[in-house]
Structure 1
């Protein structure tokens, strides 16, 4: 019986396509409307993640008949991680009988856990979102927040900076406290929730 061939370094790296700005996008992710998605650099989109950049407000016609420029549906900052099987979908509402989509902005150093559904308007920087959460349409998550696993954030809810949130529906259960996010991100340092995700991004192959 022949022995199995060990995986080569080349095949181990083939899971991700790396862009010029250091973003790592899994070949098994689902990216719709790529032209309407902006990744800020050194961010990761893992296998099974779905980004719906095709859900975007159609350009309006200007007075001179020209159309306005392209609209960014999803903007992700630097060193953020969208984990396996997440869905990132811009928020929408019905206006004058038609569905209108609004842009979504995700900040720097945001970790979105596996199986989470996101339709927020804004997720600010240094936010840690647990597994299997639902962030409903037009919710706003401010800086330095921790969303516990299995949390459902209702539509239009705004979570203030430094909050710990959990429950179905979500409620504020505490504060992250001083030192949240500090100590992570350096070479050889262990990842800290809410911290700099660059070291964790580098470790993903």
Structure 2
């Protein structure tokens, strides 16, 4: 997938020493319980609920505009328990998606407006398409595709199978997205240098 340049205002984003780029318009609840492991982009309007439980992302994760990340919970007779949420490396979460999973593996693509029910498990190299709704406690195995209609198994005979090259594709896509997500100030400076 070819990623066009996406420009942002340096005033709107905070860039950390580990290369994370987090919008100032993001809501980080319980930030002491949120760990972004480097080169993670959190776009404006996203909400990460670290106040409910620990949230940890791997490297090169993209959390798009308006996405909501909240730890899964389970209700018991004596109350509610929240579980930590771990998201692997090279994961893309589309805009306005809601994630309440128990875990999200690496090299996972989640489309826009997707809803991942509580305590779902997404294994490595799976695709959740735009608008898909996963019921609570659903497990999506590796190289599977989940659509609005439900689970579609992978396999060479199925036109909707997830390519065996999914891992490489997600590494290329997320790294390219990160490289093309540039500060307007940097692009103006590069243009001035090239003109001289």
- Whether 2:187 is the aligned partner of 1:201: answer no
Higher helix proportion (structure 1 or 2): 2
Q: Secondary structure at the match of 2:179?
A: helix
For 1:29 and 1:144, how far apart are their aligned partners in 2? 27
1:118 is displaced (CA, Å) by: 0.2
Q: Secondary structure at the match of 2:166?
A: coil
* Per-residue deviation, residues 69-91 of structure 1 (Å, max 9, x unmatched): xxxx1010000000000000101
* Per-residue deviation, residues 36-64 of structure 1 (Å, max 9, x unmatched): 001110001100000000013xxxxxxxx
Q: Give RMSD over aligned pairs.
A: 1.5
Partner of 1:171: 151
The higher-RCO structure (CA 8 Å, 6+ apart) is: 2
Partner of 2:166: 180
> CA contact under 8 A between 2:144 and 2:151: conserved in structure 1?
no
Partner of 2:186: none
1:203 is displaced (CA, Å) by: 1.8
User: Which of the pair has more CA radius of gyration?
Assistant: 1
Runs of 4+ in 1 over 6 A off after TM superposition: none
Task: Output aligned runs, 1:1-205, within 5 Å.
Answer: 12-56=9-53, 73-167=54-148, 170-172=150-152, 174=154, 175-182=161-168, 192=169, 194-196=170-172, 197-205=174-182
For 2:46 and 2:128, how far apart are their aligned partners in 1? 19
* Per-residue deviation, residues 79-115 of structure 1 (Å, max 9, x unmatched): 0000000000101111232111100000000000000
Does the C-alpha gap of structure 1 residues 173 and 151 become closer, same or farther in structure 2, counting only changes over 3 Å? farther
Q: How high is the TM-score relative to the length of structure 2?
A: 0.81
1:14 is displaced (CA, Å) by: 1.9
1:167 is displaced (CA, Å) by: 1.7
For 1:139 and 1:178, how far apart are their aligned partners in 2? 23
1:13 is displaced (CA, Å) by: 1.9
